[in-house]
Structure 1
Amino acid sequence: MDLIQSIREAGIVGAGGAGFPTHVKLASKAEYVILNGAECEPLLRVDQQLIVKFAEQIIEGLEKVAELVEAKKVYIGIKAKHKEEALFLKEKLKGNSIVELFELDDFYPAGDEQALVNEVTKRVVPEAGIPLKVGCIVTNVETVLNIMESLSGKAVTHTYLTITGKVSKPITLKLPIGITYREAVEIAGIKDTRGLVFIDGGPMMGKIKTNFDEPITKTTKGIIVLDEDHYLIRKKSMSTTMALKQSKAACLQCRMCTELCPRYLLGHNMQPHLMMRMSNYDHDNLNKAETASLCCECSVCELYACPAGLSPRLINIHYKQKLSEKGKRYAPSKVTFETLTSRDYRKIPVKRLIVKLGLKEYDVKAPMEEVEYFPQRVKISLKQHIGAPSVPVVEVGQRVSQGELIGEIPEKAMGARVHSSISGVVKEISNYIEIESI
């Protein structure tokens, strides 16, 4: 079986982002492959530990990916502050002419794939484009590990994630896909979730969740538990209606949201202050709003840049949705782009960002532990990826084994397969497949 086929059959998607199907991404040719080990979101500790624990498998996986896409070079991007990990990798890479370590500064968002491409290659991904446009393929640490597992016939049934925040035992674990967030946080010492909410992912781009009984997915990389009245939770809970009202009342057009916008600094025409201005004075003129489509929703404008504590991110999302409803797509005005000369001086220091977010007390280690967890029931989503939801290939009452296919990619659609994370009996099928252990 060839590599692409094994990746497809294993249901591998990007483990650190939106879940782009990996067999689709690696069907192209590229000059460079970049391993995204930056893990720029504060408090998350998955990649920096995986890259050491499974260094040999990951390096071998990168070599196989490079051969597949005919890349001439592979770069492993990790932050220079991880000195022990960097020294360890340098030792492992001695004599390797294909794979090279690239040490990154400690800034946010170093893990944004467009920022990472520029750091490593000095190339700028075009507006509304992907790294492949400049000869690069960016992949995640756990994704490469899953690729190596697929060569042994193992499907994606578990995910690595950091559980941190207001927990007694910050920890990084490998857990079955489909267990609840409640089960996960109990392992970290939380028995009573009253008065608590959590962020699925990092504090900047992660989504607030209030229902601890929802299931984790292939792309769950972090659970950050916080008090429901924490500053960050209140800020991220703001409605679009409130954001629009605050903008009209308090936006001074100081341009700080634009001056610190990572995409603007790459030379893109992403100017959040103009969206704020339009929301105040020309609300319905979508012809002036098309650049909102370039927003990557990194939250720099909302959680770091704005001196008035406003939410340009929500304004951008508001106009992105309106543009989508009207079928309007942004058309880049040029082909090549250059970073602003000020970019190097406007990178967001992560330590300063952590203080700004009110998370300093939670900036602690979350060591990886081997925990054998056998859930009584899992609820596995048929859509854990970009593209079409998977189609069930099992029936209620059917017995399935761990790793068995339960959801197939629809014909002529982009998607990813879904497999059972436990052995059991199928109890219910909807947008999820519920399986009870036997």
Structure 2
Amino acid sequence: MDLLNIIKDAGIIGAGGAGFPTHAKLTSKAEYILLNGAECEPLLRVDQQLMAQFPDEIIRGLEATGRYIEARKAIIGIKGKHKEVVVLLRERIAALGLANYMEVMELRDMYPAGDEQVLVHELTKRVVPEASIPLKVGCVVINSETALNIYHAMAGKPVTETYLTVAGDIPHRMTVKVPVGVAIRDVFRQCGVENLDDYAVIDGGPMMGSVMNNVDGYVTKKNKGYVLLKKDHFLIRKKSMGIEQARVIGKTACEQCRMCTDLCPRYLLGHNIQPHKLMRAINYNLEDLNELKIAQLCCECNACELFSCPANLHPKSVNIFYKKKLAEQGIRYQPTQVEFHPRAAREYRLIPSKRLVAKIGLKTFDKPAPMTEVEFQPETIRIALRQHIGAPAIPVVAVGDQVKAGQLIGKIPDNSLGAAVHASLNGTVVECTDNFIEIKVGSYV
């Protein structure tokens, strides 16, 4: 079986972010294979610790992927501040005889260094065109946990676990390996949080993550972290504001200063995204959506909303508002140029991570979240059939079936984009729907 089908059968998706099925990224050849180890979201600590703990496995997974797509070079992008990990990776690359094929490049400590298009430019000096993907400039990007999962898949192990950081205003910050399908509340208990009444939880990083309406869910393959903060924290109040309230505030306070545009990472790469124009449009009820198609260029990094705006307004929310309107009417942005170049001011407008952390009120909580070995012993697990971009997996088990860890329980629908799902623990299927499979763990019932 070739690597593409090994990855497909293992159910590997982008570990973090939207969860794009990895096998779909590898159907074309590319000049570069890039490892995204930037982990630019404040407080999250997964990638840096995985690269320290499993350097050989990650290097081998990256190498195999690069060879498969016939990349002439593999580059690991990691922030230079992680000096020990940088040294370790370089030593292991040399020891494995890959110095002529792979190198480590140090990234600046700025946000959003982990944005796929920012990463491509920082590592290759190429600019991904508007409304396009890295493959357009000869690059394929995977992150460190994905490379680790690829290594495991080559040894016959599918994705049944995920690594995530739990951080914020909690007694014990930690990074932990969690079986897919474990209740999120069980993860929080390991960090010393039993009662969530005073807390709000951000699913993902504090910049791009959203406040969870319901914490009674279950861990999926694409979860990378949870940030717990008190409900009155600035960040929670900011993220909890609805579009109508944001619109009213914007109407009264936006002074068209352009800071949201001038510090936008995609604008600085030469793209035409201009959030201040969208703020103007919503303030004056401009209704010609053809003039507002630039909203589709927003990567939702939230730099405009949480760092740039001096009045604490909501440009990203407005971008999302117009994205939805455009989608409803089937209007798509069409680039008018092919090549893009960074704007001259880019080098002077990068957002320092430390300054960002202070701005969003997280300096007190910006502390280590060490890798911690935890043995989860849940009574049941609930494994979602849609943990990824694309069609949900189709169950291949039924109520009463006994399953073992690593067993396929959901397959990709024919002729569809999707990802397979597997049991993460031994047990018996007790419920099977179009959305999830619930397994009673341990002794069979």
Q: TM-score, normalised by structure 1?
A: 0.99
What is the alpha-carbon distance in structure 1 between the residues aligned to residue 285 and residue 236 of structure 2? 30
Deviates more, 1:260-269 or 1:284-293: 284-293
What is the alpha-carbon distance in structure 2 between the residues aligned to residue 43 and residue 172 of structure 1? 11
Partner of 1:257: 260
3-state SS of 2:372 partner: coil
Letter in 1 for 2:2: D
CA positional deviation for 1:389: 0.8
Partner of 1:379: 382
Deviates more, 1:228-237 or 1:393-402: 393-402
What is the alpha-carbon distance in structure 1 between the residues aligned to residue 400 and residue 245 of structure 2? 47
> Are 2:251 and 2:283, in contact at CA under 8 Å, matched by a contact in 1?
yes
Correspondence 1:172 to 2:140: no
What is the alpha-carbon distance in structure 1 between the residues aligned to residue 80 and residue 422 of structure 2? 37
What is the alpha-carbon distance in structure 2 between the residues aligned to residue 87 and residue 155 of structure 1? 30
3-state SS of 1:270 partner: coil
Partner of 2:438: 434
3-state SS of 1:414 partner: coil
Aligned residues: 438
Unaligned segments of structure 2, at least 5 residues: none
**Among candidates 141, 145, 155, match of residue 142 of structure 1:** 145
Letter in 2 for 1:113: E
Deviates more, 1:6-15 or 1:421-430: 421-430
Letter in 1 for 2:210: K
CA positional deviation for 1:229: 1.3
Correspondence 1:219 to 2:214: no
CA positional deviation for 1:284: 2.0
Partner of 1:313: 316
Structure 1 residues 179-194: aligned runs within 5 Å? 179-194=182-197
Correspondence 1:102 to 2:105: yes
CA positional deviation for 1:60: 1.2
Correspondence 1:357 to 2:360: yes
3-state SS of 2:34 partner: strand
What is the alpha-carbon distance in structure 1 between the residues aligned to residue 361 and residue 249 of structure 2? 22
Deviates more, 1:116-125 or 1:86-95: 86-95
What is the alpha-carbon distance in structure 2 between the residues aligned to residue 63 and residue 192 of structure 1? 45
CA positional deviation for 1:16: 2.4
CA positional deviation for 1:192: 1.3
Correspondence 1:6 to 2:10: no
What is the alpha-carbon distance in structure 2 between the residues aligned to residue 16 and residue 225 of structure 1? 18
What do the CA deviations read for 1:393-432 (whole angstroms, capped 9, x no partner)? Answer: 1111211111111111111100000111111111222211
CA positional deviation for 1:341: 1.0
What is the alpha-carbon distance in structure 2 between the residues aligned to residue 78 and residue 131 of structure 1? 18
What is the alpha-carbon distance in structure 1 between the residues aligned to residue 412 and residue 91 of structure 2? 41
Letter in 2 for 1:192: N
What do the CA deviations read for 1:373-394 (whole angstroms, capped 9, x no partner)? Answer: 1221111111111111111111
Structure 1 residues 60-79: aligned runs within 5 Å? 60-79=60-79
3-state SS of 1:13 partner: coil
> Are 2:278 and 2:295, in contact at CA under 8 Å, matched by a contact in 1?
yes
> Are 2:275 and 2:319, in contact at CA under 8 Å, matched by a contact in 1?
yes
Partner of 1:424: 427
What is the alpha-carbon distance in structure 1 between the residues aligned to residue 358 and residue 77 of structure 2? 25
Correspondence 1:232 to 2:235: yes
What do the CA deviations read for 1:255-278 (whole angstroms, capped 9, x no partner)? Answer: 000000001000000000000011
What is the alpha-carbon distance in structure 2 between the residues aligned to residue 211 and residue 180 of structure 1? 12
What is the alpha-carbon distance in structure 1 between the residues aligned to residue 18 and residue 272 of structure 2? 23
Correspondence 1:343 to 2:349: no
Letter in 2 for 1:432: F
Correspondence 1:111 to 2:118: no
Unaligned segments of structure 1, at least 5 residues: none
Structure 1 residues 274-293: aligned runs within 5 Å? 274-293=277-296
Partner of 1:93: 93
> Are 2:211 and 2:239, in contact at CA under 8 Å, matched by a contact in 1?
yes
**Among candidates 412, 416, 420, match of residue 415 of structure 2:** 412
What is the alpha-carbon distance in structure 2 between the residues aligned to residue 44 and residue 31 of structure 1? 30
What is the alpha-carbon distance in structure 1 between the residues aligned to residue 207 and residue 83 of structure 2? 25
What is the alpha-carbon distance in structure 1 between the residues aligned to residue 165 and residue 265 of structure 2? 26
Letter in 1 for 2:391: A
What is the alpha-carbon distance in structure 2 between the residues aligned to residue 186 and residue 399 of structure 1? 28
